[in-house]
Amino acid sequence: AQKITQTQPGMFVQEKEAVTLDCTYDTSDPSYGLFWYKQPSSGEMIFLIYQGSYDQQNATEGRYSLNFQKARKSANLVISASQLGDSAMYFCAMGANAGNNRKLIWGLGTSLAVNP
């Protein structure tokens, strides 16, 4: 079965420090994508970063990087130099295009609080 697990319901980090948000996944599909989204208290869902299962290098987008360890089936999000505006819910999701039942599988999210 396809599944996304985020084991950290809540995280705290000091401003300007780096933080890692965990995400593990389970799938038997050979081709899949891994996503991270941010949802601030205002409610909108903001795409952060994407990693394809065949990508050789870890994805990076500004202060966001994805630590992709395929053998361990993990796709952790690393936020460097945390800012107060990074306080939000963070969701890991997985997409697969095998078969007709197409959908994104979502984790339950991690709430990140950045302390000044």
Smaller CB distance to other proteins: residue 36 or 82? 36
Binding residues for other proteins restricted to 75-94, rule: CB under 8 A: 91, 93
The Cα–Cα gap between 3 and 45 comes to 20
Tokens linked to 112: 């990140």
Measure the N-to-C terminal CA separation of the chain; round to a whole number of Å: 41
- Report the nearest approach of other proteins to the CB of residue 91 (Å): 7
Is residue 1 a contact residue for other proteins (CB under 8 A)? no
Is residue 103 a contact residue for other proteins (CB under 8 A)? yes
How far from chain centre, in Å, is Cα 49? Answer: 8
Is residue 41 a contact residue for other proteins (CB under 8 A)? no
